[in-house]
């Protein structure tokens, strides 16, 4: 597609439920990133994929968070046993090539997650 697409744009769930957030990157972009942005803060890194593999998952806050990218394009961020503190906007970005250097990221509009 023309840009990075994220669905759903808004998700309201109850504490303890399971949530999946989807990211459809720009066609041909090999690198994909997930970030989390809380109100009034900058985005916080969660995980980076190069192709199908998670090259860096050091930002995932705990084992309730997991992400996959099975075919090297669409990625799904999965959150188990959601907590109120998980409420945030989850941003996805994609880019050509590897992580370093002249690597312009294109961001999606984000998925706003609210845990009641």
Binding stretches for other proteins (CB under 8 A) = 4, 33, 35, 40-45, 48, 56, 58-59, 91, 93, 99-110
The nearer residue to other proteins, 19 or 93, going by C-beta atoms, is: 93
Sole residue written with tokens 């990075």: 4
Other Cβ atoms less than 10 A from the Cβ of 24: the count is 18
Residue 76 bridge partners (DSSP): 22, 68
Helix (H, G, I), strand (E, B) or coil at 21: strand
Q: Which is nearer to other proteins, 4 or 79 (CB)?
A: 4
Peptide bond into 21 cis (omega under 30): no
How far is CA 94 from its chain centroid?
10
Tell the smallest beta-carbon distance from residue 104 to other proteins (Å): 5
Cβ-based neighbours of 52, under 8 Å, separated by 6 or more: 69, 70, 71, 72
Cβ at position 16, least distance to other proteins in Å: 27
> Smaller CB distance to other proteins: residue 45 or 66?
45
Residue closer to other proteins by CB (options 73, 95) is 95
Q: Nearest distance from residue 69's CB to other proteins, in Å?
A: 17
Kindly state the smallest distance separating residue 35's Cβ from other proteins, in Å. 8
């Amino acid at each position: 597609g023309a840009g990075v697409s994220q669905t759903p744009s808004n998700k309201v769930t109850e504490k303890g439920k399971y949530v999946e957030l989807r990211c459809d990157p720009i066609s041909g972009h090999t690198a994909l990133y997930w970030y989390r942005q809380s109100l009034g803060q900058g985005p916080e890194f969660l995980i980076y994929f190069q192709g199908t593999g998670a090259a860096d998952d050091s930002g995932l806050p705990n084992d309730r968070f997991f992400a996959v990218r099975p075919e090297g394009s669409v990625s799904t961020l999965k959150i188990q046993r959601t907590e109120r503190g998980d409420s945030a906007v989850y941003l996805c970005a994609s880019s050509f090539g590897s992580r370093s250097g002249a690597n312009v990221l294109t961001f999606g509009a984000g998925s706003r997650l609210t845990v009641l």
